[in-house]
Amino acid sequence: MLNSTREQIRVRVASASRADLEMLKRRAVEVLERIRGVRKYRLRSKVEEIEGDVAVETLVQVEAALGRRGKWFMIRRRLQLEMAYLR
């Protein structure tokens, strides 16, 4: 993922209200579930891979913001989500 995309997500999450964070979290999980379902039938397209990366990063940032967690949590959670949904 590009650093500029990661920074855009970070800024968006930092300026969001709690309700907006919950909405972002739901959307990210929906995208990841859809991509997980696609994996059963065919290879993911490049667009789906990018959507998955953005969804993982969004979910990591939102969970860190909601739980007031730091960098180590984000690193570990990013790996967990990638293994669960994208590998």
pLDDT tens for each residue of 21-74 = 999 999 999 999 999 998 888 988 999 999 999 999 999 999 999 998 889 999
Secondary structure (H, E, C), the chain:
CCHHHHHHHHHHHHCCCHHHHHHHHHHHHHHHHHHHHHHCCCCCCHHHHHHHHHHHHHHHHHHHHHHCCCHHHHHHHHHHHHHHHHC
Please give the pLDDT value at position 77.
Answer: 94
What pTM value is reported for the model?
0.89
